[in-house]
Structure 1
Amino acid sequence: MEIQQNKRILAIDIARGMSVIFMMLIHTMLIYGDIPTQTNSILGEITLWLGRGTTMFLVSMGISFVLSRRQSFLKVCRRGLYILAIGYGMNFLKFLVPEFIFGGLPEAFVSAYELKSGTLETGIFFLLLGDILQLAGVTLFIMGTINHFSKSKYVPLIVALAIIAISKEISGYRIGIVGLDYICDLFFSDRFNVYFPVFPWSAFILLGMFLGRWYKELEENQTVFFRKMLLLGFVFIAIGGILNFTNSEYHFGDYYHLGPGGSILILGVNMIFYWVVNCIVNLFKEDNPVFKGLIFCSKNVTSLYVIQWVLINWGMYVIGFWEHDQITVLCLFPVVIGLSVSIQILYNSVRNLLREKWIKEPINQLIKTV
């Protein structure tokens, strides 16, 4: 059997690229699909479960962190602040631009959060809304701290399991001080001002950190790595399945604020899916168009996340909110994906041109002074 030993793990790239596509699908469904389409249609059910595959992005983030060259505590913290800035910048573009420049967010959309359009309260709420980028930014500080004090692969695993174990019990905790309560919400929210609180969702990233360290410990032997990941995935599914069977409402009643059983179950499914993706990757050449497209999405995951969300939210002014059946939503899927990727390609081109200009200009200035 051939031993694969590469710094880059193609299956992880492909899976993360797939998670980007899944995110576009679920967000399109959540914004444009009417309630019957979301809850009582075949397309709605399929999209809902594909949307839960977005957790692959979180696990991939942890694995990629370990394989990254940026390992110093200060660099990790700077990266965390950068991701947080992008997250709140996305909120500004996604919500405040339409709210105060486009004439106000759709009334039905604002009412879903029990708010009124055009008020300061609404503006602050949407600016501070917690999403995956806020989760990623905060978790980077936790990862940087772990990385600074310990290189053991078991430390991030133990921290992840501890977070999973106590998350439901401390869900909704606040200290009762304005401002500090928002920090509490980023960590422990049980409401929809924060969709991905650090407890329990950081556990997904920390499990990825454990897997990344395990991979390096195995001397980057991908064959053995994915086999062990498969076995661990079955263990997680067995434990999570038993917990969910005992009390499904507690463990999996609210996807965005999971209990221990729900978190462990989804983590197990993720690991098995990675193994499946690796099997598929081994059947095809890397340079096929589908893989190239998914790798592109993986490499541009952060900016694509921002682009697709802003595009979808601004699209409410053209397409409407919660208004369309499953056929219309199905037709919108390729439109959203195509536009998001096209904007990303344009953005990359402009960014590369600016970089070339900034690189050449100092050289030209140097030549003139010689």
Structure 2
Amino acid sequence: MFHYRDQTLDRSLLALYAGFVGKRERDPRLAKISVECYIKSLHTLRNSDVWVKKRPSAAEINATLATVLVLSRVELMSGEDGSGGYVAHIRAGLQLLRRPHPSISRDNELTWMLAKRLRCLGFYNAARQRRSFFMAQSPFSEWCFSRPSEPDYLLQKAIDVAISIPTIMEEADALDASASMSEDDLRRCLRTAKRLLGQAFEVAENLEQWLLETREARLSSSIIQAQGYASTGEAGDCWEENTPPYFDPSSYSLLISCNFGCAMMRVRNWLPHLPLHLRTFEQNCATVDRYALSIRRSVTTALTASAFEAQEALVLIFTLYRYWKGKGDDHNALCCIHWLEEIKSRGLAVDVEVDERYAMVTARFMGEHQPFAK
């Protein structure tokens, strides 16, 4: 990004850094600097002429997308945007990619890397809030984010699969809440239910295909270490084969999230039963258990002196906590509590609250005002 940085992006980076360090060190001066830089950056971004230009340059678009990404992280970290209003910024930024421009193509690695990061942030909010996600709809759903030749292929394909689940669940919740319907309302609900059935079948089929691909892929210990996650050397800790580095711990985390989505869809008696392959996967949990243990082994050695790596590890820990607590596995759930306590004791976390008495964890740095898991 050094060739694309402008004053707005630099100021937003200062807001992120000052806010992060200010919260960690409990320094009100840095916190004030962060707020001031954030307000100025947001004001400049909203009044930028990039939004009205017919043909903004690739440099302008990349700088704008990067600024949106950084400001979204500031909002999540500060907890000032728990309602997910930053998704409006993400939507506006991605609208720039819809404009025809000779230099904005699928081969522009920086542009699409930024677009992928923004998509992940938006998906996180949609899944957490059980809200529909605009990128599950046309024209964004037609964009190809997953290519077999790219190292994050399985991760992006997992998001492709899971991205429609919050939308299905939001509409399903609305149908469940329907009452005192007229005949026209009933017909409309039946049409909606039929459409959701089709979408749920499609999700199940896509997830089944993705699971088969993940089982064919293998995770090399050198890849884990290269991404900041070291192997513990335990038997079965990772698979060693000469296969492309498609996996990373985030793929495991998304797999577990997909499992929750399938479980939620299956309990609705008007939604389709999952294929036998997925039904067995969900009920026996053997595959998910294996992936959960892989996350655990990776996270165990990921708690380095880097606060930013610790924040990444926190997301995985919360996923594990939610999974094991839901299964009634108190031993592994308690391990997650201990990890969080260790992160907090090292001063690596930003506003992480741990209360073992109530088995409650809260992550305010992710914009959470309510406990993330109980």
The TM-score with structure 1 as length reference comes to: 0.26
The TM-score with structure 2 as length reference comes to: 0.26
Structure with higher helix content: 1
**Greater relative contact order: 1 or 2 (C-alpha under 8 angstroms, separation 6 or more)?**
1
